[in-house]
Amino acid sequence: MAPQVMLGQYTSKADVWSIGVLAYMLLSSHMPFYGKKRRHVVAKIMKCSYNFTGRHWKRASQQAKLFVSELLIFDPDDRPTAAEAQSSVWLNKRFDASIRSVTEDVMDHVQISLEMFSSYTTLKKLALMVIAHKSTSEEIGLLRKAFSKYDTTGDGTITFPEFKESLAEYAYKEEELEIMFSGADIDGTGRLSYTEFLAATIEATGYITEERLAEAFDRLDADDSGYITIQNLREILGDEIPAKVLDEIMDESDVTHDHRISYDEFLMLFDEHLEEKRYSALQTMVNRKLTRSTYQSPSVSTLLETSSSIEEEDDESPISVSPITKFAIK
């Protein structure tokens, strides 16, 4: 919503502002004005406070940023008309279409995500499943292709033998593979569904921002109490889940021991050292591959750079992501 609309003034320039907001979101996968509370969002809009930071903007051209900044101007008189905006150099530039395939580097990041996912608390796994469920086909396009590489029989699920075969080059021990597979098998069926695979690998896309985490928290905090409670977990996981199991899930993340999870406690699940852990895991992974291969493994720096560019133009019909209903918690 444009600043002047909040002041009760609506003109065609408000629509130009809206186009600027949409362009910002399409280029970055984030909203330009974000806050946990509505008043925080309003304050940022009225100050016209936004920026072009973040990994997605590193790939955006200066012309794209200029187009957005010309539309997201506080004073409507300083904004271009729709016709003027339409003549933007950026909008009229010709782009070569390209469709990315799943590279070895992408598969390496998928493998690291699977390894790290197995050590997460149940609540963090549920949060990542919510984020995966709410992701667009563009955001998860490469993960869908990665899933197809694991699902060698094409039946829509990944069995342990398929999982083991797909990770053969990483020289894991049998027990390590069993831990990773069990950690991703959230519903305990002995097979990884597409939704489970997405939850376990969504971090490989680099789309886990605080905005996404806030959305996941709001989904888990179904009654909007400001906390994730035992009742919230029961509504998500189902009435058949024993109370003892729900208590264990709560205790894993309840830092203040008040039997509920605040937003700050929830954010602590996604700690600031996550990238350091991924870097360490990538180093270990490179060493694993060197023991299994005679070719030159990609450098760690190359692998890390890849994490900032996992996105694609998807040319296939999206596989539907089943909603969160029941989980058999082991």
- Judged by DSSP in three states, 157 sits in strand
Nearest to 124 by CA among 186, 211, 195, 54: 186
Spatial contact of 182 and 330, defined as CB atoms under 8 Å apart: yes
What is residue 274's predicted lDDT score, i.e. its pLDDT?
53
- pLDDT values of the chain reduced to their tens digit, one per residue, 330 residues: 788 888 888 888 899 999 999 999 888 878 888 787 888 888 888 888 888 887 778 878 888 888 899 999 988 888 989 888 887 777 776 444 334 566 777 888 898 899 999 999 999 999 999 998 888 877 788 898 899 999 999 999 999 999 999 999 888 899 999 999 999 998 889 999 999 999 999 988 877 888 889 999 999 999 999 999 999 999 988 888 899 999 999 999 999 999 999 999 999 888 754 555 555 555 565 555 555 554 444 444 443 444 444 444 444 434 433 434 344 333
Distance CA 162, CA 152 (A): 7
What is residue 175's predicted lDDT score, i.e. its pLDDT?
94
pTM higher than 0.75, yes or no? no
Spatial contact of 105 and 172, defined as CB atoms under 8 Å apart: no
What is residue 85's predicted lDDT score, i.e. its pLDDT?
85
Those residues whose C-beta lies under 8 Å from the C-beta of residue 240, and which sit 6 or more positions away, are 326
Structure tokens given for 177:
């593979």
Helix segments in the chain, DSSP class H? 3-6, 12-28, 38-47, 62-71, 82-86, 104-117, 122-133, 141-150, 160-166, 174-184, 194-201, 210-220, 230-237, 243-253, 263-268, 274-290, 300-306
What is residue 295's predicted lDDT score, i.e. its pLDDT?
40
- Judged by DSSP in three states, 202 sits in helix
Structure tokens given for 179:
């831990």
